[in-house]
Amino acid sequence: MFLQGVGPKKAELLKKELDIETFEELLYYFPYKYVDRSKIFTISEIDSSMPHIQLKGKILSIKSAGEGRTKRLTAIFSDGTGYIELIWFKGLKYIQSFLKQNVEYIVFGKPTIFNNEYNIAHPEIEIYDESNKQIHLLGLNPAYNTSEKMKENFLNSKGIQKLVKNLLLSLKTKIPETLPSFLIEKYRLIDLDTALRVIHFPPDNQILAKARFRLIFEELFYIQLNILSLKNKRISISKGSPFPKVGDYLNRFYSDFLPFTLTDAQKRVIREIRHDLGSGKQMNRLLQGDVGSGKTLVAMMIMLIALDNDFQTCMMVPTEILSAQHFNTFKKMLEPLGVKVALLTGTTKKKERKIIHEGLENGEIQILIGTHALIEDNVLFKKLALIIIDEQHRFGVAQRSRLWKKSKPPPHVLVMTATPIPRTLAMTVYGDLDVSVIDEMPPGRKPVQTYHYYHNNRNSLNKFIRGQINNGRQVYVVFPLIEESEKMDFKNLNDGCNYMREAFPDLKVVIAHGRLKQVEKDDAMRQFVSGEANILVATTVIEVGVDVPNASVMIIESAERFGLSQLHQLRGRVGRGAEQSFCILMTSYKLGEESRKRMEIMIKTNDGFEIAEADMKIRGPGDLEGTQQSGLPFDLKIANLARDSQILILGRDAATMILDDDPLLTKNENLLLKERMRHLAIEKGNWGMIS
Ligand code: ADP
Ligand code: MG
């Protein structure tokens, strides 16, 4: 980069700290806020609530004071309406050498009160130029994020501002437009050259808003265009294995073994998936359905269609407990049909593992259930054609994509999640997937009642537990387990378990957590599932998927330490039978505002989508659980998915409209788009390919 003021040292810092190497990247490094320099205030107007302000006046006296570390330089500054002290603690010599009396200065800084007097520490100061007054009215002044290292090397916010200013001044021609004119007209956007100049040095708020709109639109539009055109490409290249028929397995299951009538939503979703599987194209679909909506059954029936077409299929789940549970369900329901199901996890014994590997390679095993152990390279299938990923938000992108490579043509993929994410986020994070939604609960479910208790309400809580257990119900008690404070958490967990054992000496209390041996964990789960144990004390190992319909009480200890979607998942463990279920959120009396809000939302609604929206508002989209594991697949420079959902929808619509007309962007008028996408992809890697 050859730019005035950028030597090799600064160039290297820009690259290392901010990943800025080109003029374009510098121009797209946007300010994170603006400081108002559009006005000059008088000293008499100052009050302590003011942010940074500009003053115009003269220096009346200068003196240095203090010794060593308290050494400072002070100047009395006046504009005729009052006096204010300017103070410097650093760079004293330099400042003293240029400060003059009887010269008019413009001073910029934040006034603070000390000993009842106003002062400004380390103000920016420059000589007032009467002949060119306008230059002191800088309008909104940009502030840029920089690192400590950069600040040490004169690349602070001001430094970046100078670089950008120099760059903009040095450009001899307009910055070339990146959006085609039909979009600019349709959405009434300002041109790129203006937008970039304005975003760095806005003359006023109105035009700034226009520049922001244009740049946010551009960013979101290109993300959508990229995702959707990759999807077009994928569909045109990869043909999936066709599943033309529905045969004996599914038909017999449906007529003889289906334990309940499917809900309408389950039926609809199965139809949507069957349509994909019969189309000859590879399926890549997301199945969303709130906790307890019956996704497992849908998965099972789809898997039977694979068997009907002589293919193998597998299901990957995030925890051992869940894999064991699914394995048992599948075995119980499918073995009568003569289906061969196997379980493969990290703790499967070597000898057994070998038998499973063989069974998969010779095709004898038809359905494999497992944890991420099943992505290992030595797990090979004879004819794998359908992959199901349960609770997919627990897996990273890389893990998912390794499953893709297990067969050729690539297998159909169905990812299932109970962590609903807001629609706009889904469009972006899962933009490449088709989406099916189970928006209906199996009949007879009563909404879980949720209460917030403080720790000192133990006695009434225990009475309540006793009542439920006398009615034949079972109870979960969940403790947080966060890695940083593992020791404390384990102590809490064990203390909590002992407490329950003492409070209910006649009952069977079992414990489950990640550090137990597999057999111990299995044993605890088995006792709870069979109803032998009344109370299960556990960490969040039971968070996902676990299904014990007779358990009707979920007690969440230190609930303030869980995120909203985790609380919702945990609550989803109850309310699975016909009985009224309860979720009790236990917290300490002292609660932060955000935690209190979370408890309120939990009490107010059982709707996962509503909770996800609220969560996104509180935490911002980058931290949502649905995206934490995989992260957003791209950096957003200016858009914010929580705030800019309207613009996102415009961008998505625009991209859809263009691709409907020209799926591979070969028309002349779309050349610019293709060019720009290629450019962005080279710059940031392929941010559209995500599952
Ligand atoms: P999730 O969608 O959270 O994975 P599950 O698949 O575990 O939910 O289903 C929750 C419970 O609902 C299970 O006990 C399951 O057997 C039951 N279930 C599923 N479908 C139906 C249905 N159509 N009618 C009644 N119960 C159902
Ligand atoms: Mg499930």
Sign of CA dihedral 456, 459, 462, 464: negative
Q: What atom of ligand 1 comes closest to residue 266's alpha carbon?
A: 23
Query: Ligand 1 centroid to 445 CA: how many Å?
Result: 11
Q: Whose CA is nearest to atom 5 of ligand 1?
A: 294
How would you classify residue 685: left for phi > 0, otherwise alpha for psi between -120 and 50, otherwise beta? left
pLDDT of residue 624: 44
pLDDT of residue 69: 76
Quick one: which of 229, 174, 225, 166 has its CA closest to 196? 174
Ligand 1 close to Cβ of residue 111 (< 6 A): no
Pocket test for ligand 1, best of 253, 264, 297, 543 (most atoms within 8 A of CB): 297
Residues 62, 102 contacting (CB under 8 angstroms): no
Q: What atom of ligand 1 comes closest to residue 577's alpha carbon?
A: 14
pLDDT of residue 688: 36
Spatial separation of the C-alpha atoms in residues 637 and 639, rounded to whole Å: 6
Tell me the pLDDT tens digit for each residue of 512-565.
988 888 889 889 988 999 999 999 999 987 777 688 999 999 999 999 999 888
Ligand 1 close to Cβ of residue 262 (< 6 A): yes
Q: Any bridge partners for residue 553, and if so which? A: 475, 582
Query: Ligand 1 centroid to 292 CA: how many Å?
Result: 5
Q: Secondary structure of the chain: what % helix, strand, coil (to 5)?
A: 45, 20, 35
- 126-130, 224-228, 554-558: range with lowest mean pLDDT: 126-130
| Distance in angstroms between the alpha carbons of the first and the last residue of the chain | 36
**Tokens 């949507």 identify what position?**
272
Residue 198 structure tokens? 């304005």
Q: Whose CA is nearest to atom 17 of ligand 1?
A: 294
Sign of CA dihedral 118, 123, 128, 129: negative
Between the alpha carbon of residue 551 and those of residues 8, 548, 586, 625, the distances in Å are: 66, 6, 18, 26
Spatial separation of the C-alpha atoms in residues 78 and 87, rounded to whole Å: 14
pLDDT of residue 483: 61
Q: Which residues contact 87 (CB under 8 A, 6 or more apart)?
A: 72, 73, 74, 119, 120, 121, 122
Query: Ligand 1 centroid to 583 CA: how many Å?
Result: 19
Q: Whose CA is nearest to atom 10 of ligand 1?
A: 292
- What is the β-pairing status of strands 367-370 and 72-78? unpaired
Neighbours of ion ligand 2 (CB under 5 A): 545
Query: Ligand 2 centroid to 323 CA: how many Å?
Result: 10
Spatial separation of the C-alpha atoms in residues 551 and 499, rounded to whole Å: 20
Q: Any bridge partners for residue 76, and if so which? A: 61, 85
Residue 111 structure tokens? 């006034």
Q: Which ligand is nearest to the CA of 390?
A: 2
Average pLDDT value for residue range 176-204: 94
Give the CA angle between residues 679, 681, 685 to the nearest 5°. 140
Residue 543 structure tokens? 């968070």
Ligand 1 close to Cβ of residue 260 (< 6 A): yes
**541 DSSP 8-state letter:** G
601-607: Cβ within 8 A, 24+ apart: 601/564, 602/450, 602/452, 602/564, 602/567, 602/568, 602/571, 603/450, 603/451, 603/452, 606/447, 606/448, 606/450, 606/571, 607/290
Q: What is the mean pLDDT of the chain?
A: 87
Ligand 1 close to Cβ of residue 435 (< 6 A): no
Q: What atom of ligand 1 comes closest to residue 438's alpha carbon?
A: 2
pLDDT of residue 486: 75
- 126-140, 287-301, 493-507: range with lowest mean pLDDT: 126-140
Query: Ligand 1 centroid to 455 CA: how many Å?
Result: 33
Q: What is this structure's pTM?
A: 0.69
Ligand 1 close to Cβ of residue 418 (< 6 A): yes
Tell me the pLDDT tens digit for each residue of 234-255.
777 777 788 888 899 999 999 9
Ligand 1 close to Cβ of residue 301 (< 6 A): no
Ligand 1 close to Cβ of residue 332 (< 6 A): no
Q: Any bridge partners for residue 142, and if so which? A: 34
Ligand 1 close to Cβ of residue 575 (< 6 A): no
Q: Which residues contact 476 (CB under 8 A, 6 or more apart)?
A: 535, 536, 538, 542, 551, 553, 554, 555, 570, 573, 574
pLDDT beyond 80 at 386: yes
pLDDT of residue 138: 67
Ligand 1 close to Cβ of residue 547 (< 6 A): yes
pLDDT of residue 628: 38
pLDDT of residue 134: 64
Spatial separation of the C-alpha atoms in residues 366 and 441, rounded to whole Å: 30
Quick one: which of 156, 177, 154, 158 has its CA closest to 166? 158
pLDDT of residue 691: 34
Query: Ligand 1 centroid to 296 CA: how many Å?
Result: 7
Q: Which ligand is nearest to the CA of 298?
A: 1
Instruction: Round the CA-based radius of gyration of the chain to a whole number and report it.
Output: 32
Residues 608, 291 contacting (CB under 8 angstroms): yes
Ligand 1 close to Cβ of residue 442 (< 6 A): yes
